[in-house]
Structure 1
């Protein structure tokens, strides 16, 4: 209840068109109230989403590395939207000049949907410019395990290489139109990124093994597409 009461001042700032962050020092704690996510977890593997016009949350971090917070990607006050409350607690630290590490748990709660809540345990590691993140998610009807490997910039082309691999397991198999059924499937993605002449080039490839099994109708994973998908994106800031 305490977390929910603190959440509403951030939500009252308005919708995500104008992201706002209010930051305060409270003794050994740093408090952030914001209308845009202020933290990602497991070295970037878990990134809070924004699924509604009104969203916001809080994040409280102690000087010793402990943190907890709550984020609502949707307040559920617009037609067709549902209230979602994501609560998390974790610890992030380093060993002297050695690797950085993180561990925590996050719960996704949907107060007005039955059996929709799920929880996720996550961990992260940074070492020699590379990042490794892992998450195990459990819901009422499925389990998802995801691994992130970010190798950082690699010579000789100075490419930033990021890979994701996930396995998904359904509690009950789903029948397909071709007579087969799906209970387990995997998906993956590879991203190559490089800045050049003020332009950032991103080449992304994603796919899943459901593509070859005729099961894309039931796909629900980390990728936007079930089929093999290749995307080239170029970005240049205007100012």
Structure 2
């Protein structure tokens, strides 16, 4: 089954000029960022995004040495529980800043559903404005490997393109209605985003390797198991 979704969410801006996403302050050797969209390069592709009807935000603290810590919170969808994604890592530029690397760890926590908590290790490379990264996470009953790419096109063409692919391996196969079972699957998403007149526009295409009745076993990053197109428009709070 293919599903096409067009979702628009416009939130009135407060306190800061329209279109601003990040409130940034320098305190001695520390840089603080408060934002309504993820600001950390590698963690940006790994935290769980909020849906059109969800509140979301995060705080990121970086030391001049390259060490950083941060936390991202989203209630995902109204019918889903609160999730808190906390991370720590080290980022280091090479040469003239056109190259660099990053290593870190990220903890996914659901206070009301501790069985869903998991820990991820991630690493990435920055190459002339583009970012390439990978992560591995595990939790009770499954492991996940994720590849993430941000092409860094915003300064040159006015919009950005990101791609994410995840592979899931289940310790115990999940039975489906056709009598079969699912022990592994993959999913992917491609996102195009750009600011326009104070509104953040995001177009995404997502899908998975599961179809039909097998979708009852889906538990990946995407909102839907089936192929989906989503258009989202949001107005930052600051």
- The answer to whether TM tops 0.5 is yes
Displacement after TM superposition at 1:173 (Å): 0.9
Give the TM-score, by structure 2 length. Answer: 0.68
- Say yes or no: does 1:70 pair with 2:68: no
Displacement after TM superposition at 1:127 (Å): 1.1
Instruction: Tell me the SS of whatever aligns to 2:115.
Output: coil
* TM-superposition CA deviations, 1:65-110 (whole Å, max 9, x none): 1101233335xxxx97745443211111210224122111111223
Distance 1:203 1:102, change over 3 A: same
Distance 2:221 2:79 in 1: 23
Gaps of 5+ in 1: 1-14
- Say yes or no: does 1:96 pair with 2:98: no
Distance 1:168 1:17, change over 3 A: farther
Contact map agreement 1:19 1:36 (CA 8 A) in 2: no
Distance 1:164 1:201 in 2: 18
Instruction: Tell me the SS of whatever aligns to 1:215.
Output: helix
Instruction: Tell me the SS of whatever aligns to 1:216.
Output: helix
Higher RCO (C-alpha under 8 Å, 6+ residues apart): 2
Aligned residue pairs, count? 213
Instruction: Tell me the SS of whatever aligns to 2:90.
Output: strand
Give the TM-score, by structure 1 length. Answer: 0.68
Displacement after TM superposition at 1:203 (Å): 6.5
Contact map agreement 1:41 1:47 (CA 8 A) in 2: no
Distance 1:16 1:105 in 2: 34
- Say yes or no: does 1:60 pair with 2:61: yes
Displacement after TM superposition at 1:17 (Å): 6.9
Distance 1:224 1:85 in 2: 18
Distance 1:147 1:48 in 2: 15
RMSD: 4.3
Distance 2:26 2:129 in 1: 30
Distance 1:168 1:91, change over 3 A: same
Distance 1:192 1:54 in 2: 21
Worse overlay, 83-92 or 102-111: 83-92
Q: Counterpart in 2 of 1:206?
A: 206
Displacement after TM superposition at 1:188 (Å): 2.3
Distance 2:228 2:103 in 1: 32
Displacement after TM superposition at 1:205 (Å): 3.8
- Say yes or no: does 1:176 pair with 2:205: no
Q: Counterpart in 2 of 1:5?
A: none
Distance 2:218 2:129 in 1: 34
Distance 1:161 1:175, change over 3 A: same
* TM-superposition CA deviations, 1:196-221 (whole Å, max 9, x none): xxxx9977543222116x31122122
Q: Counterpart in 2 of 1:110?
A: 110
Gaps of 5+ in 2: 1-10, 17-21
Instruction: Tell me the SS of whatever aligns to 2:216.
Output: helix
- Say yes or no: does 1:221 pair with 2:216: no
Distance 1:148 1:234 in 2: 21
